Structure 1
Amino acid sequence: MPPPYPSSSLQAVRSEIAGRLREIRLDAGLTGRDIAARTGWQPSKVSRIQNATTPPSDDDIRAWCLACDAANQVPDLIAANRTADSMYVEWRRVQRTGLRRLQEARVPLYERTRLFRVYSSSVVPGLLQTHEYAAALLGSIARVHGTPDDVEDAAAARVERSRIIREGDHRLAFLLEESVLRHVVGGAETMAGQLGHLLAVMAYPAVSVGVIPAGRTRDMWTLETFNIFDESRVHVELLTAAVTVTTPGEIAQYAHAFEELAALAVYGTDARAIVTAAVTSLG
């Protein structure tokens, strides 16, 4: 049976919360049916919560602890529960007030990160985007996800945060599938400008850009887009949600995958030739 959560990091946090609730019940000398009777729940709900198959709400945690005469445990458990909530966030939740705030919310993380490792199999990474490319891409996202239209402000915020590639002591390593260069976003003119910008950024001392050529025999399959921030966390981008990975073992797996993918890529003159060919193909 597959795990109920999309990340082992999230699974670990959810299991820890469930374990603490189960211990609180046992310390109170109660059975699962006792909890159900005191809270007015079905016994199946108690079972799902303490087995980490259904995440509890804040109200569920309060009710459970009160039933066990353990109200002093509520604040810590709710804090842990909200941390878990932040590890798997649906785009519609964080984008409901528009896209600009989402761009700005990540600035502190970007500023404190020293080593960025970014793999993209779909679009040019945000830190490398031009305003026109970002606006076209964010416009598509807003349309598909049905978010408020603040695309121009969001694109400006995205470009503004990319200043880190020119400032401070950050190091940035990007890996792009060649198909990223061939996906035309915003029309030929916008795409040509984006690819030209990419060529310029490839000359920055702090930036490494590798391109994985199409058709190359590979031992590592194409993955979802992911960003590794130092050794502290990984952000994985899905269609409907963003997954944050913080478990050291899982971060190490993504770091290893990045190394495997990096070995497939070409760099320097060879990478620039692939980007230039993509520009030429736009006609």
Structure 2
Amino acid sequence: MSLSPSSSAQAARERVAQRLHALRVEAGLTGGELAARCGWTHSKSSRIENARTPPSPDDIRRWCEACGAQRQVPDLVAESLNAESQYVEWRRRVRDGLRRLQGSYVELFRSTSLFRVYSPTLVPGLLQTEGYARALLSANARMLEIPDDANEAAPARTERSQIIHERGHRFVFLIEEAVLRYQLGDHDAMAAQLGHLLTAGALPAVSLGIIPAATANRALWPQEVFHMYDDSLVSIETLSARVTVTQPSEIALYLRAFEELRSMAVYGADARALVVRAIDALR
């Protein structure tokens, strides 16, 4: 009899926990000593080793560094991410509303140096204004038949987006020109969103590329929305679920697709001109 998805996930978490435990033992460290080196409490080490708390990529990096096993980081991060969420149903994640979902990404964002985001239909979440996010989240709540807490979720989304102003992170956004024309919210909300793209696209850590609708002989057709976090995780968004990819070969495929799409985009003044034309069309 095969394991249920939840049982399989727990078994995978336990394998990661066992590997981390073995590294600590091989390094001759007690749980308290390892916790001190990592800068957290002994109870956190215990929870991780007993598979009660899944470690973040940063947790794994600190653990391996404390044990002198830095070479183990890539494999352990991939295994842990794979254990946690290869396929997560939106309905299960958001059954208590969308506000809590916004905060669930903060730790992943903090541990990511390079963000790559491609979107053919929507302004990426990290670039959304509160009014645009509120309209989008409210529509999602209605479609998924879950509590509509967009008034609380939208500020939480824009608050987490402040990471684009923090040092230590770089952001490469690619959108199709159609994103500028799909109106979410009222006229004022959409105008504010487009104006924000002009501002955010000029930030030193942000690269905003727009693929013109008139692009001839496209090298690659429009794809699904996907987010790449460094080179360790790809998150793909569908209507009913979020699919997480951690296999290196699949990540390499998405990176190749991203670069193909990136080669078709316009940047700088040309990108701003497309946004300005979309703003003019609202008048």
SS at match of 2:122: coil
What is the letter of the counterpart of residue 256 of structure 1?
A: R
Aligned residue in 2 for 1:263: 263
Please state how far the C-alpha of 1:179 moved relative to its aligned partner.
0.3
Partner Cα distance (2:230, 2:250) in 1: 14
Aligned residue in 2 for 1:181: 180
Aligned residue in 1 for 2:240: 240
TM-score by length of 1: 0.72
What is the letter of the counterpart of residue 173 of structure 1?
A: V
What is the letter of the counterpart of residue 198 of structure 1?
A: L
Partner Cα distance (2:4, 2:233) in 1: 22
SS at match of 2:215: coil
Q: Does 1:249 align with 2:268?
A: no
Correspondence list, 1:6-17, <5 A = none
Please state how far the C-alpha of 1:215 moved relative to its aligned partner.
2.3
Structure 2 gap segments, 5+ residues each: 12-49, 55-78
Please state how far the C-alpha of 1:86 moved relative to its aligned partner.
2.0
Q: Does 1:89 align with 2:88?
A: yes
What is the letter of the counterpart of residue 115 of structure 1?
A: L
Contact kept in structure 1, 2:99 and 2:153, CA below 8 Å: yes
Contact kept in structure 1, 2:100 and 2:153, CA below 8 Å: yes
Partner Cα distance (2:253, 2:165) in 1: 29
TM-score by length of 2: 0.72
Partner Cα distance (2:86, 2:228) in 1: 15
C-alpha change, 1:245 and 1:83, in structure 2 (3 Å) is closer
Partner Cα distance (1:58, 1:214) in 2: 46
Correspondence list, 1:219-238, <5 A = 219-238=219-238
Partner Cα distance (2:194, 2:274) in 1: 10
Partner Cα distance (2:188, 2:91) in 1: 30
Aligned residue in 2 for 1:15: none
Partner Cα distance (1:109, 1:81) in 2: 13
Please state how far the C-alpha of 1:84 moved relative to its aligned partner.
4.6
Aligned residue in 1 for 2:7: 58
Correspondence list, 1:62-73, <5 A = none
SS at match of 2:256: helix
Aligned residue in 2 for 1:20: none
What is the letter of the counterpart of residue 238 of structure 1?
A: T
SS at match of 2:95: coil
Contact kept in structure 1, 2:82 and 2:246, CA below 8 Å: no
Contact kept in structure 2, 1:95 and 1:102, CA below 8 Å: yes
Partner Cα distance (2:173, 2:98) in 1: 23
What is the letter of the counterpart of residue 267 of structure 1?
A: Y
Aligned residue in 2 for 1:200: 199
C-alpha change, 1:147 and 1:271, in structure 2 (3 Å) is same
C-alpha change, 1:85 and 1:113, in structure 2 (3 Å) is closer
Correspondence list, 1:269-280, <5 A = 269-280=269-280
Contact kept in structure 2, 1:58 and 1:81, CA below 8 Å: no
What is the letter of the counterpart of residue 241 of structure 1?
A: A
SS at match of 1:168: coil
What number of residue pairs does the alignment pair up?
217
Partner Cα distance (1:96, 1:82) in 2: 22
Partner Cα distance (1:234, 1:280) in 2: 35
Aligned residue in 2 for 1:160: 159
- The two structures, once aligned, show a CA RMSD in angstroms of 2.2
Partner Cα distance (2:128, 2:156) in 1: 11
The superposition leaves residues 9-37 of structure 1 with CA deviations (integer Å, 9 ceiling, x where unpaired) of xxxxxxxxxxxxxxxxxxxxxxxxxxxxx
Partner Cα distance (1:55, 1:122) in 2: 34
Partner Cα distance (2:195, 2:233) in 1: 31
Q: Does 1:144 align with 2:93?
A: no
Correspondence list, 1:106-145, <5 A = 106-145=105-144
Partner Cα distance (2:133, 2:109) in 1: 18
Percent same amino acid at aligned positions? 53
SS at match of 1:231: coil
Partner Cα distance (1:226, 1:153) in 2: 25
Aligned residue in 1 for 2:66: none
- Whose Rg is larger? 1
The superposition leaves residues 116-146 of structure 1 with CA deviations (integer Å, 9 ceiling, x where unpaired) of 0000011000000000110011000011011
SS at match of 2:264: coil
What is the letter of the counterpart of residue 137 of structure 1?
A: L
Partner Cα distance (2:209, 2:96) in 1: 35
